[in-house]
Structure 1
Amino acid sequence: MKPKFIAISENIIEQIKIGELQPGDQIPSENELIREYKISNTTARKSLLDLESKGWAKRIKGKGTYVLNRTTDHHLVRTLGSIYATRRGFHESLIAEGFQPKNLVLEKTILPDGISSEIGGRHFIIDGPVLKIHQLRFADDEIIKDELKYISLGMCPNINRLPTEISYFKVYESTYQLKIEEVKQTLSTDIVQPEAQENNFELTRATAMFILDSAVVCAGSKVVEIERSYYRGDKYKFAIVANPDYNDHGLTGA
């Protein structure tokens, strides 16, 4: 008969294999394992160490244990509808999956006038002043996301002083006490040619791209953020889940 901690770690590995736990998802903590399986602290700790030693998970000090990305082509799975992934943000998500993230800021400026965008047949407007951030996102020295954000400085004064690798969604909620009521999104695709203006990925051949347009809407229908991002189609996969906490409004990971 196999030890209890092995049986538990194998059960978690099976959840990862069938997709119940995705790369970057947090694995139940020691205390949660103790409550679920009625085991000791030692057994719970051994279960998590076994997962890590077998290469299925990584412990991040002070945060928890996360599912590593073990796909052979290093595809990144992002889930539309996951409030947990949205709050965590791009930078922290990559670390949780075992990648080394890096940002290259192409532009960070304050626009005195407002910005508007049509997303999913609706018109979204942010009154000025607006913080514009255009940055390239790297995973292990490879550009995988071209991100353009517009953020309301009226609703988030001095947010331009914060580093760009943060989870802005988390900052809206925690620092500025904003109540997020909806995140409206559309996901489309396009082929980007090497000579195209949109090619900030240093591509040498035509490459498929996911294009994510989104607007973060707070109480009173006030828009705090508008984003348009390009994701490399050969590096990303998108999944969709319903999120009852947000009345089934679409929310995305980073």
Structure 2
Amino acid sequence: MKPKFVSISEEIIDRIKTGELQPGDKVPSENDLIKTYRISNTTARKSLLEIENQGWARRIKGKGTFVLNRTVGHHLIRTLGSINATRRGFHESLIAEGFEPHNVVLEKTVLDDGISSEIGGKHFIIGGPVLKVHQLRYADNEIIKDEIRYISLSLCPKINRMPTEISYFKTYETTYHLRIDEVKQTLSTEIVQPGSEIDNFELSAATAMFILDSAVICKDGQVVEIERSFYRGDKYKFAISANPDYHDA
């Protein structure tokens, strides 16, 4: 008969294999396991250690144990429509998945006149002043994302003084106490040629890119952020999270 901690670890690994737990997701904590399986803290700790020893997850001190990225070619999986995934942020997600992230800021400036963008057939406007942050995102010394964000300085004063590694979404909620009502996102594709005007990836061959346009909208209808980002098509896969809206018959 298998030890209890082995059975529990196998059950959680099965949830990872089936995709129920995605790379970067948090696996159940010691306390969660103790409550669910009615086990001791020693058995719970052994279960998490077994998952980690088998290479399915890694523990980050003070934060928890997270599913590692073991997809073929280490494709990064990002979920559209998931507030939790958006809240976690790029930097934190890469660390949780076992990558080493860093950023190179190409531009960080204040636009006095504001910005507008069409997303999904609708225009979204942020009145000035607006912070523009254009940065390249790296995973293990490889550029995987070219990101431009426009952020309302009226709603988020002095956010331009914060480091660009932060989760902006989480900062809107926790630092500026904004109630986010909706995130509008559209995904398109484009082939980027090496040396072209939009090639910030140091490409050696024509490469397919995902282009994500998004707007973060507060409860009162004000737009706090507009983003346009290029993701390397050979490094990313996108999933969609759909939450059914049930109505009484």
TM-score by length of 2: 0.97
Alignment partner of 1:91: what SS? helix
Give matches, 1:77-96, under 5 Å.
Answer: 77-96=77-96
CA contact (8 A) 2:116 2:126 kept: yes
Alignment partner of 1:171: what SS? helix
Alignment partner of 1:45: what SS? helix
Give matches, 1:118-197, under 5 Å.
Answer: 118-197=118-197
Runs of 4+ in structure 1 displaced over 6 angstroms?
Answer: none
The one-letter code of the counterpart of 1:151 is: I
RMSD value, Cα? 1.1
What's the CA shift for 1:12?
A: 0.7
Counterpart CA distance in 2 for 1:95 and 1:38 is 31
Give matches, 1:213-228, under 5 Å.
Answer: 213-228=213-228
The one-letter code of the counterpart of 2:48 is: L
User: Is there any run of 5+ residues in structure 1 with no aligned partner, and where?
Assistant: 249-254
What's 2:108 paired with? 108
User: Is there any run of 5+ residues in structure 2 with no aligned partner, and where?
Assistant: none
Alignment partner of 1:144: what SS? strand
Which is bigger in relative contact order (C-alpha 8 A, separation at least 6)? 1
Deviations 1:132-171 (A, max 9, x none): 0000000000000000000000000000000001000000
Counterpart CA distance in 2 for 1:114 and 1:82 is 27
The one-letter code of the counterpart of 2:138 is: F
CA contact (8 A) 1:83 1:243 kept: no
The one-letter code of the counterpart of 1:226 is: I
What's 1:24 paired with? 24
What's 2:229 paired with? 229
Counterpart CA distance in 2 for 1:188 and 1:153 is 28
Counterpart CA distance in 2 for 1:241 and 1:156 is 28
Q: Percent identity?
A: 76
What's the CA shift for 1:80?
A: 1.0
Counterpart CA distance in 1 for 2:87 and 2:35 is 26
188-197 vs 235-244, which moves further: 235-244
What's the CA shift for 1:42?
A: 0.7
The one-letter code of the counterpart of 2:141 is: D
TM-score by length of 1: 0.95
What's the CA shift for 1:220?
A: 1.8
